[in-house]
Structure formats: C-alpha cells, structure tokens
Amino acid sequence: MAAILRFRKLCFIEPTLKNTGSSETPKDEKQEESRTITKHECDKTKKNKKMQRWKCIDSCCWFIGCMCTTWWLLLFLYHCLPAHLSGFKSPESPGVRLKNEGLTPLHPVVLVPGIVTGGLELWEGRPCSHGLFRKRLWGGSFAQILQRPLCWLEHLSLDNETGLDPPGIRVRPVPGLVAADYFAPGYFVWAVLIENLAKIGYEGKNMYMAAYDWRLSFQNTEVRDQALSRLKINIELMYVTNGNKKVVVVPHSMGVIYFLHFLKWVEAPPPMGGGGGSGWCDKHIKAIMNIGPAFLGVPKAVSGMLSAEGKDVAFFRAMAPGVLDSEILGLQTLEHMMRVGRTWDSVISLLPKGGDTIWGDLDSSPEDIQTVSSYQRQNNTKHQIEIKQETKYGRIISFGKTASEQHSSNLTTHDLVKDKLLDSGGKCGEVWTEYGKISRENIMKLADNKAYTAGTLIDLLRFVAPKTMKRAEAHFSHGIASDLDDPKYSHYKYWSNPLETKLPHAPDMEIYCLYGVGLPTERSYVYKVSQSDKCNTIPFQIDSSAEGKWLRGGVYFVDGDESVPVLSAGFMCAKGWRGKTRFNPSGSRTHIREYRHKAPGSLLEGRGLESGAHVDIMGNVALIEDVLRVAAGASGEEIGGDRIYSDILKMAERVNIKL
C-alpha cells in the first residue's frame, strides 16, 4: 500500500507542484502584480498538467500490457515447442501415463458444471442485441461488455418477479462438452479433465456435459428447459449403451448441490419429481466425485448479496478509490452488478446452510484458532495450559472491527422481524438495488455496533433484499431438519440442502469430497457504512482499512480453496454422511480427498499442475488421476481412501448436530 501511495504522489502530486510552483522570486513586487496570464497560456498550462497525468496512466497500462503479452507468449511457446527439445519437455499427462498402465474406459462419465462457468447464448433479444443470435453472451470473449454494456446486462438479467425469462428475451445454456470446457479463450475449466479422459478412450458416447442455465433456481431449470429430465434420460441412455455400467458423476462447485437436488428429484413422483422410483440411483450411479463442493454454502455469497463485493473488489477499491464509486464518471458498476445478480436465484442456494450450529455463534465457531500449548511455572513446577485464540468467525458480518472482536454482551441486539426497521416507504422510483426504500436512519440502525451470524444474516438479507429473498426462498432453504420424515421435506425447496434431505437408498454408491486446501479463503467480513446517501446506491461496503492478525483488508480468512472453506467442502463427508446417519440412511461410503495447494514453479506451468484453487484444481494432476481411476472401475479404498491435510475432522467434532 505504501508503494501505491508513493506512486500516486509521483504521478499526480509532484507534477502539479512542479507546474504551479516557481523557482525564482520576483525582484519587483509591482512588476509581479502587473503580470497577467493570457487565456492561451492558462489553457496550455492545464493541458500540460492533464498530459502529464495521462502519460503516467499510459505508462502503467503499457507496463501491464507488456507483462500480459509476455506471459501469453511464453505460454504459446511452451505448447508449440517440440516435446523432444531438451529442457522444454512437458510433463507426461495423467491420461497418457494411465493409458500406458492399461487403464481403459469402464463407467460412463457425467460432468456437471457449477455457477458462472457454463456458457450462455442468445436465442431471442431486444433490438439492441441485433447480430447476436446464438452468439455467446457469457463464457466467451466477453466483447459485448465493451461494445454494448447496458444491453448485455439487460439480456443476462432474469425477471425480478418470476425468476424466469423477461418478456422478449431468451438466453439458453450452450449444449455439449463445449458448454464449460473453457470459460474464456485460454482459460480452461473442464478442458484438461476432458482431454485426459479422452486419452484413455472416452468420447461422446460415454461422456456427457450436463449443461444448464446456472442463473435459474434448480427446479426452474426443469420448469423452463427440462434440464433435469434431459440429465435423467442421458444417464439412462449411457447406462444401457455401455453394457449396463453405472455412471460416475463429476459435479463442480454449485453443480454439487444442483446434482444433490437431482438425486431427490429423479426418485420423487411426478409432477414435482422425475418418477424414477426409490431404486433409480442405486441402479444407475456408481460414484459421485464432488469437486470443490459448496455443500453448506459459502460466506462470499453473503458479501455478494449485501454489497456486490468480495476481497478482490474491496482490494480494487482500496487501490483506486473513487473509480467504482465515482459520481463524476457515473459508472455505477457495483449497482449494475447487484441489480443483475439479484435476479439470479441460484445465488441464494450458496448462502451458508445450517445456521449457528454449523457456522458458529457470536462467540465461538468450529474454526476458532487453537494455539500450541504454553507453559506456566507455579511453585517451581511447570504446568501445561491450553491457550485458545478466539477469532469469532461466527460473526460473518460485523459493522466495524470492534464489533468483530468484542464480547457478545457488548453488542447491540434487536429483533429485525419485530422492529420492522426498513419499512420506510422509499421515494426512489425504480429500485435498482432494493436499497432505494431504506432510509439513512434505518441504515445506521442496522450497522450500529452489530454483528450477524449465519442464523441472523438471513433476516438481514430479507430486509435489504426483500424481493429477491421472497422469490428465491420459495426454492431454497438453509436450516437443519429436526425430523427428516416430516412430509414437508418432500418439497423441492429442501432438496439441495444436505442438512434437510436424505441421500437415496444406494448402499453401493460412493460419495467423494475432492477439494483444495492451503489457500486463504473468505470466511467473515468487517463492514462500514458508505458515504453516499443517494437513492439506489449501495450503503454498505467492506472496510478495507480493517487489519489484524487474522484480518486482512476487512476480510477474515480460513483454510480452503479461495472460494469454499474447508468446513463447507468437507463436513458432510467427514461427519454428516459418514457411516449410517439420518442424512445417509443406507450408509453410502464417503471419502475425503484433499489436495494441498502448490503454486506453479514458473510461468510455463500456467495455472499450476498441483493447484488447489477452486477452478484451477480442475487441472490438478492428482485429482485428474483419481477421477480417471474411479471411472475405470477403482473404488475409494483402491485409490487410497481418505487423504486429509486440514483440520476438517477436528472441526466436524466441534459441530454439535444430531446424526
């Protein structure tokens, strides 16, 4: 940060001083008073100042452009040079190595992409979209963002009342393996895994990408596109045409809970379900290999709903204050992002599930840091004592650093439902962000020395995003079932929550939790009230100035894969489904396979062969080998059983939940 401030001073302050200052003192004061500056000279001075400022900015852009060009050139040369050239031989891919070991395809493979990574194309649009028929609006070059940004945003939005298509607009998922092989040119998602599967013999007849519109609620993908029915039919087709071999399903990120929804839908009776019956999953599915699973949600979904930010946006705000929030430029970037994002019901599926039981209360959480034992001398005898460093991760949202640290007895509390704080009857006209109906007084009441846990933040979101939450909560639930035999849990709103639904009766089906560890992952946030009090602006923002031992840039971090904390990715395999539990009545076997993150050794490695990052892990050679071996017939025990580097087992022990 100090370097950034020095750079800013160099580019903006010193040139100004040099142009406005004078190195000589006039000898004659009368002569100085009579000196006049012509209009031409004044304009020339201003122009010189502006040119110096822009020259500095141009130099920065030029430097960044050179760095990016160099990286792409090295990557291009790496892939184009002959493999036999000394010093440039690329490592042997898992697919080639396992093929040489005799591995061949056995079980058909179904790939289920997560949120954001699947391509979307235009089938019908407004006049501003002329020439874009069946062109990718998402998951391509993104050129339309620069050419017609407002039109692009309009066509990516869903109807704010129905959560489906707005009138006159049809945007649909790109079909086939190309739907999510690359997110953008050169940025792979599934491409590396698909290529390695192909190397041992997989092709279109035994490999299928279950593309769906990731913006919609899971049940609405069936209502509008029959996506769940298509997935069911394709699994049945591959099962029959591949010698009645069960399918290996590989979901990623939000695709994990999308497929969990499918498991209940496919066996449920119509019209709500697919009518497959209670034995469908046991008959058709060998294993579910969940990559980067967001089983219990992600805290970053909360910051996205509250202020359209995460650590990256907050960092950018700190580096370039005023760019995103500039009233002069009038970009309203975050407001537009929030307006569009709040029409995507799928985002609500990623809010933390399980409330305070899973994520912790105001004073404790399963991820509280435990220090190494300390020694204290008393009466000439050493006594070993345990020192507990409580970071209070359970406070997912805190307004002010003090509120994130002090004891809960010092925090102001109130009942949001009872107080009706936000019933202000706003006068902003069209509500872009849903904040337009909240008065400044009530904004201050929400933020005044308060912290919100996974349980209370749902009420907070219901007030700051009432239309979004009312629509989306008809499709998703975030609690813990007390009695899973209660008939209400047969409704589809509970099917994507592993704490409110049972796994199907499939004792031979295996469930894997495959995820990266060793990367700082967003867990909770310190917020402040923003300065602007205009209608339809976002009144809250992450306080990037908040720093501490476990706090950086207003964000508390824990172990994970940069997006999903270990607690969310691993708890169900470590405890919730381990053995026969009420969530797993048939005792389907679970396996935890963690991949310790290792940064790439050079630019030529691209995004790394041992990365544990949420998307980059799709190119992790160890993960690819695990998937290939299971697809070729291996069981969890045969590939090594559990491989755990994190404290997930200790965290799971601290969660007091009825099994």
Q: Which of 8-22, 162-176, 277-291 is least confident? A: 8-22
Question: Could you read off the pLDDT of 130-150 as tens digits, one per residue?
Answer: 999 999 999 987 777 778 888
How far apart CA 96 and CA 257 sit, in angstroms, is 32
**Which pLDDT belongs to residue 370?**
46
Residue of 478, 611, 614, 646 marked active site: 614
Question: Could you read off the pLDDT of 361-371 as tens digits, one per residue?
Answer: 999 999 986 44
How far apart CA 204 and CA 617 sit, in angstroms, is 23
**Which pLDDT belongs to residue 382?**
43
Of 246, 140, 119, the C-alpha closest to 186 is 140
Question: What is the average pLDDT across 311-328?
Answer: 57
Of 350, 354, 352, the C-alpha closest to 341 is 350
Q: Three-class SS of residue 140?
A: coil
Question: Could you read off the pLDDT of 541-560 as tens digits, one per residue?
Answer: 999 899 988 899 999 999 99
Q: Is 330 or 336 the better-scoring residue by pLDDT?
A: 336
How far apart CA 406 and CA 290 sit, in angstroms, is 38
Q: Which of 55-69, 293-307, 388-402, 580-594 is least confident? A: 55-69
Q: Which of 106-110, 383-387, 624-628 is least confident? A: 383-387
What average pLDDT does the chain have?
83
How many other CB atoms are found less than 10 A from the CB of residue 377?
8
Q: Three-class SS of residue 360?
A: coil
**Which pLDDT belongs to residue 263?**
98
- Parallel, antiparallel, or unpaired: how do β-strands 555-560 and 519-529 relate? antiparallel
Residue of 165, 181, 543, 561 marked active site: 561
Question: Could you read off the pLDDT of 460-471 as tens digits, one per residue?
Answer: 999 899 999 999
Identity at 49, one-letter amino acid code = K
For residue 12, pLDDT beyond 50: no
Q: Three-class SS of residue 429?
A: coil
Question: Could you read off the pLDDT of 112-121 as tens digits, one per residue?
Answer: 999 999 999 9
pLDDT tier at 324, thresholds 50, 70, 90: low
Residue of 253, 346, 398, 544 marked active site: 253
Beta carbons of 506 and 586 less than 8 angstroms apart: yes
Q: Mark out the alpha helices in 485-620 (DSSP H runs).
A: 566-571
| Order of strands, sheet of 120-124, starting from the edge strand that comes earlier in the sequence | 136-138, 120-124, 170-173
For residue 427, pLDDT beyond 80: no
Of 568, 632, 560, 630, the C-alpha closest to 595 is 560
Which two tokens mark 578? 């381990």
Catalytic, 253? Answer yes
b/e string for 164-202 if b means 16 or more Cβ within 10 A? Answer: bbbeebebbbbeebbbbbbbeeeebbbbbbbbbbebbeb
Beta carbons of 536 and 499 less than 8 angstroms apart: no
Give percent of the chain above pLDDT 90. 63
Of 591, 590, 610, the C-alpha closest to 600 is 610
Question: What is the average pLDDT across 487-505?
Answer: 97
How far apart CA 3 and CA 70 sit, in angstroms, is 24
Catalytic, 614? Answer yes
Residue 47: partners with Cβ closer than 8 Å, 6 or more residues away:
none
DSSP for 402-413, written as a single string: HHHHS-GGGS--
